[in-house]
Amino acid sequence: MKKNPNDMPLMHENEGIVLFHPHIPKNAIRYVNETLRSRWIGHGPKVEKFEIDFKKQFNISGDCIAVGSGTDALHLGYLLANLNKDDEVIVPLFTCTATNIPLLYIGAKLVFADINPKTLNISVEDLKAKITEKTKLIVVVHYGGLPCDMDEINLLAKQYSIPVFEDAAHALGAKYNGEYIGEISDFTMFSFQAIKHLTTGDGGMLVVKNKGLEKKSRRLRWFGIDREDKQKGIWENDITEIGYKYQMTDIAASMGLAGLEEFSVTLKYRKKLYQRYLKNLKNNSDVLIVNDSDIRKEHACWLFTIIVKNRLELQKKLRSKGIESGQTHYRNDRYSIFKNQSEYPNMDKIEDDYLILPLHIKMNIKNVDYICDVIKEGW
């Protein structure tokens, strides 16, 4: 079987081209085995090393808190942002439900903002229109790995003294104005779920800029207990706030450490595939690529998304050729739990037209060319 630049076996021709495929780094199995033979398999020294190495690799000045999932990181961050019941939070209409469901845990009031039709990120214009004196937090998602318009968003946030929370589940390795995502806003979340750039099986990282929240974030991550005090063997460390079981394990962190070692190569390879899609499809009048080509933004290339008419027919054709495609994320206002009946003209316009094409480490350039050739034939 042929191998790609990451020395990982490519998909067999008979397997077809799947939409997603997890990437397990070559050292992950060895590191996990070493951990399984050690004293620590739960939250131990590997978690702390992963936090330190992550912080260093992505030039993050804030505190990095490793947790059991990206959703854990979101909920923990929302609590640290001091959100309370009925507080208004402006959130993206178009995102994984994990972005918004933790706000329901708190009882916050969600105010959905429409999309920017070029990027599927939050619309700055609609965001501005939704801000009121009741707005306590702005949440943005870097869809597919393409950063939002952070200059404009942070200008609004500063004008109204509202903190910003970046859901960067898709955007590990992305940059804005030359800075890594994770270094810009008050809070940033990363996901290490199974099919992300870097996986720990499941896991997440919360980045908190306010260093005054470091100890609290670590207490809330572990039942409200101060682990340092507890490990001194004393019982003077009272629990004064409700915490959660959100810590990462050393088993997961072992995978994460292996992923960090390969990350620059992995990201470079994904960018190569993404650029090939761009080259092949940019002049196709039947295809609109979701990307605004803003020079301030460096794409993390987690998704390659297109806008097409008769999407279902294209999906059927791709499937007949052994190519998976899909939507993956959906507008959240359609879910009953959010109880939202407003209108969002930009989302309405493209709701039935967006399609995600395969982009992962098990693919090669020939796979991309084949997919694009099928699309160019028409549907």
pLDDT, tens only, 13-56: 556 999 999 999 999 999 999 999 999 999 999 999 999 999 99
Residue where one domain finishes, among candidates 256, 273, 289: 256
Interatomic CA distance for residues 122 and 331, integer angstroms: 12
Q: What is the pLDDT of residue 6?
A: 42
From edge to edge, which strands make up the β-sheet containing 288-289?
Answer: 288-289, 304-307, 354-357
What is the separation of C-alpha 357 from the centre of its chain, rounded to a whole number of angstroms?
17
Amino acid at 116: N
Are both 321 and 348 inside the same structural domain? yes
pLDDT > 70? residue 231:
no
> Which tokens in the block code for residue 24?
């397990």
Is position 1 within any domain? no
271-286 average pLDDT score: 97
- The CATH number of residue 353's host domain is 3.90.1150.10
φ, ψ at 13 (rounded to 5°):
-55, -35
The answer to whether 28 and 254 have CB atoms below 8 angstroms apart is yes
- The CATH number of residue 44's host domain is 3.40.640.10
| Segment 61-91, tens digit of pLDDT | 999 999 999 999 999 999 999 999 999 999 9
322: left (phi over 0), alpha (psi -120 to 50) or beta: left
The C-alpha angle 307, 144, 170, rounded to 5 degrees, equals 165
Are both 220 and 272 inside the same structural domain? no
Print burial letters for 69-101: b (CB count within 10 Å at least 16), e (below 16): bbbbbbbbbbbbbebeeebbbbbbbbbbebbbb
Nearby residues of 36 by Cβ (< 8 Å), 6 or more positions away: 251
Is position 307 within any domain? yes
Interatomic CA distance for residues 221 and 346, integer angstroms: 38
Nearby residues of 38 by Cβ (< 8 Å), 6 or more positions away: 44, 250
Is position 4 within any domain? no
The answer to whether 338 and 332 have CB atoms below 8 angstroms apart is yes
Percent above pLDDT 90 for the chain: 90
The answer to whether 81 and 137 have CB atoms below 8 angstroms apart is yes
Interatomic CA distance for residues 83 and 102, integer angstroms: 11
Is position 5 within any domain? no
For residue 124, give the nearest of 101, 147, 102 by alpha carbon: 147
Q: What is the pLDDT of residue 199?
A: 98
Is position 39 within any domain? yes
Are both 66 and 163 inside the same structural domain? yes
Interatomic CA distance for residues 297 and 175, integer angstroms: 6
- The DSSP 8-state label assigned to residue 295 in this structure reads T
Rg (CA), the chain: 21
The answer to whether 76 and 242 have CB atoms below 8 angstroms apart is no
In sign, the C-alpha dihedral spanning 79, 81, 85, 88 is: negative
Are both 142 and 188 inside the same structural domain? yes
Q: How many domains does the chain have?
A: 2
> What is the residue range of 179's domain?
28-256
Amino acid at 158: K
Least confident of 29-43, 200-214, 260-274, 338-352: 338-352
Are both 175 and 68 inside the same structural domain? yes
For tokens 């407003």, name the residue: 342
Print burial letters for 210-219: b (CB count within 10 Å at least 16), e (below 16): eeebeebbbb
Amino acid at 128: K
pLDDT > 80? residue 328:
yes
pLDDT > 80? residue 4:
no
The answer to whether 22 and 201 have CB atoms below 8 angstroms apart is no
Residue where one domain finishes, among candidates 233, 256, 279: 256
Do the bridges between strand 164-167 and strand 187-191 make them parallel or antiparallel, or are there none, so unpaired? parallel
pLDDT > 60? residue 211:
yes
pLDDT > 80? residue 156:
yes
pLDDT confidence of 239, banded at 50, 70, 90? confident
What is the separation of C-alpha 262 from the centre of its chain, rounded to a whole number of angstroms?
18
Per DSSP, the three-state class of 287 is coil
Is position 6 within any domain? no
pLDDT > 90? residue 159:
yes
